[in-house]
Chains A and B, each alone.
Chain A
Amino acid sequence: MTYLQELYSHRELLFNLVKRELKVKYKRSVFGFLWSFLNPLILVVVYSVAVGKIMGMDKGFVAGYGGVKSFAAYLLTGLLAWNYFANSLVMSVGSLVDSGNLVRKIYFPRAIIPFATVFANLVNFGFELVVLFTFLTVIGIYFYIQIPFLILVILIETLFILGLSALFSLANVYFRDMKHLTAVFILIWFWTCPIIYPFIRVVSFAGSKTWIPTVYQLNPMASIIMMYQKIFYFGQAPSFKMLGAGLVAGIVFFLGALAIFKSKEENISSEV
């Protein structure tokens, strides 16, 4: 039985762990699931004021679908996609160690633990997207026809996050500093992605050195966020080249990470 099959046979456990994580997250909070809607709204207000108005990013901003110029829409797209990635990683890196009590007692494919955190964040991301959909509809950006591509992009991002969460949480079993390193790592990574500035700025900064934008796009999160923006802000399908490359890279990376995880898995219960 391959590891993937084994994971699949434990899908009910995965489902229950995701449910547990979501239930616990919102239990006994007054607004409950409303927070999933509130968070992006608060984010976009803060960033629009701080980055847009005070830093002046919104002046002469690129126009999106149908000539709509909205720095807030551009910002929200990037931030939500980024937060799905960042929250998943920060929350899953310590997950194996934190579930030591479970891991030391019962056998099940260990990758389920970081994956449950990622999927709980995926559900959250889904709720946040509802806010984004509403907002875009209100300001007149029409993207609904691109939804099949959106699903592909989410799949690519999820494969990438799953792979990283497996590797990071495994590394944290051996080096507990991984948790702190991840936080720093994420902070730096944020600025290498076109979230609060458009990709066009990178191109104009590079000038004649065309290798700079090429290297920039090799950063998987930069490319993934640009695909989201293409769909949500520009209302266009991402290029097939990007989708294809993303999908192949995502699957290869995920399977590779899983193979590494599997090879070290049997030590986890005695190391946590």
Chain B
Amino acid sequence: MVVKAEGISKYFRLHTDKSDSLKLAFLRGLRRSPSKTFCALKDVSFQVKQGTTLGIVGENGSGKSTLLKILTKVYTPTEGSISVEGKVSGLLELGAGFHPELTGRENIYLNGSILGLKKKDMDEIFEEIVDFSELRDFIDTPVKHYSSGMFIRLGFAVAINVNPDIFVIDEVLAVGDEHFQRKCNEKILQFKRQNKTIIIVSHALEELRTLCDEAIWLEHGKSMKAGAAGEVIDAYLDAVNVDENAAVEERAENQEKKFGNRWGSYEAEITKVEFLAGDGNKKRLFKNGEPLIARIHYKAHQKIEKPVFGLAIHRSDGVHVTGPNTRQFGLSIPSIEGEGFIDYRIDNLGLLKGSYLFSAALYDNSCTHAYDHQDEKYFFEVASGKNNETYGFVSLNGNWSMNDKH
């Protein structure tokens, strides 16, 4: 075990004022300030074996960064104990201690010694760092003349080349341009091949799934689940979706109150639209590939002959996705009277991740007279599910095949 954490908790003192000053202390009569404490981590235990890649997932503010800072000894846990074998370093401290007046070269050496390297070691990796940063032409320029991208690149180049025993990464993978990012990912894979221990905090769950062996899911400082990366990430995603459903519900209500147009003669009205999952439960957040049922409730104040129900789905930016109606489908409804509903069922939702607006309409047989037309009144969201497609907004569920006989 290279890392062994047992029941670690971390409390912070919350400052009610901007800063403590002696004046305030005197006013209080030199008593200790009545500060509140905030619990960032609560009773977290885990172990990391040599060569394991561990992912830490959780919402913002769940204690992920605090945990990393405890690993790197920046924070001492308030309770519990942690033992770490070997040198810990990584992508948390990009350009820490860089001084704007010093040149790139001077800063590389300074940064190296802050990370605990001797000058001799730095001499060995200096060329590597310069090559990696691609800043050879500017290496003797004070870093205050660097662009922010160059600054981060130099910090990154030092951090990634110091060759620690345990490499720690805090969601900074999205640094720099495409080309530079690829180099960084290569370096991480190289660490993995060298059987180094890696600990990553990230929100890119799918990347973590492929990169990590194990994962921990933190929520409000507590460890909710730890174990094989895939299982932990699935559990986390499920929980996120439950929360997300509630959030979508709330967003939908606001949306439906505020937006949309409605017109018609109202001899018959559309009273509401519900979105149902395959099991018949109401929901607003669907995953692509799942069934979706749109249930349109109506109330006919008088007998309506041969009505036509229609609907439309628009992407939130207004792109018209589809607009089926019962007449074109070939469903002929003799008449309606009183209350009832009609379902539009999609077995395999082809829409990709995004928010969608839903319109419902009730017309006469010629589709010229509107009894009730509710335009972009309703709202649902789609999250990515089994379908890994990311381009465009709809999947046509096509299949790829290759003729291997050529």
Contact = CB atoms under 8 A, between A and B. Distances in A.
Interface of A: 10, 12-13, 15-17, 20, 23-24, 27-28, 101-108, 174-178, 181, 266, 269-271
A109 to B, nearest CB: 11
A174 B114 CA distance: 25
A271 to B, nearest CB: 7
Contacts of B23: 177
Given A104-B74, A107-B72, A177 B21 contact: yes
- Judged by DSSP, the binding face of B is loop
Report which residue of B12, B74, B96 has the largest number of chain A beta carbons within 10 angstroms of its beta carbon.
B74
B112 to A, nearest CB: 9
Given A20-B99, A106-B74, 11 more contacts: A12-B118, A16-B113, A16-B114, A20-B102, A20-B106, A103-B74, A177-B21, A177-B22, A269-B75, A270-B13, A271-B13
A270 B114 contact: no
A157 B72 CA distance: 35
Given A24-B102, A27-B101, A270-B12, A107 B73 contact: yes
Q: Kindly list the 10 A-B residue pairs having the minimum CB-CB distance in the complex, ordered from nearest.
A: A107-B73, A266-B76, A177-B22, A105-B93, A16-B113, A13-B113, A105-B96, A24-B101, A106-B93, A102-B97
B72 to A, nearest CB: 6
Report which residue of A15, A178, A271 has the largest number of chain B beta carbons within 10 angstroms of its beta carbon.
A271
Interface of B: 12-13, 19-23, 25, 69, 72-76, 92-93, 96-97, 99, 101-102, 106, 109-110, 113-116, 118-119
A100 to B, nearest CB: 11
A64 B13 CA distance: 58
Contacts of A178: 22
A24 B99 contact: yes
B166 to A, nearest CB: 13
- Judged by DSSP, the binding face of A is helix
Contacts of A28: 101
A270 B320 CA distance: 52
Contacts of A177: 21-23
A106 B117 CA distance: 13
A16 B75 contact: no
Nearest to B12: A270
Contacts of A27: 101-102
A270 B65 CA distance: 13
A23 B113 contact: no
A176 B19 contact: yes
24 contacts: A12-B113, A15-B113, A16-B113, A23-B102, A24-B99, A27-B101, A101-B96, A102-B96, A103-B74, A104-B74, A105-B74, A105-B92, A105-B93, A106-B74, A106-B114, A108-B116, A174-B20, A175-B22, A175-B25, A176-B20, A178-B22, A269-B75, A270-B12, A271-B13
A92 to B, nearest CB: 17
Nearest to A24: B101
Contacts of B118: 12
Nearest to A103: B74
A19 B305 CA distance: 91
Contacts of B12: 270
Nearest to B11: A270
A178 B114 CA distance: 27
Nearest to A99: B97
A168 to B, nearest CB: 13
B16 to A, nearest CB: 14
A17 B111 CA distance: 10
A229 to B, nearest CB: 36
A105 B115 CA distance: 11
A232 to B, nearest CB: 35
A55 B168 CA distance: 65
A97 to B, nearest CB: 9
B271 to A, nearest CB: 56
Contacts of A104: 74
Nearest to A265: B76
Nearest to A104: B74
Given A20-B99, A28-B101, A270-B12, A106 B115 contact: yes
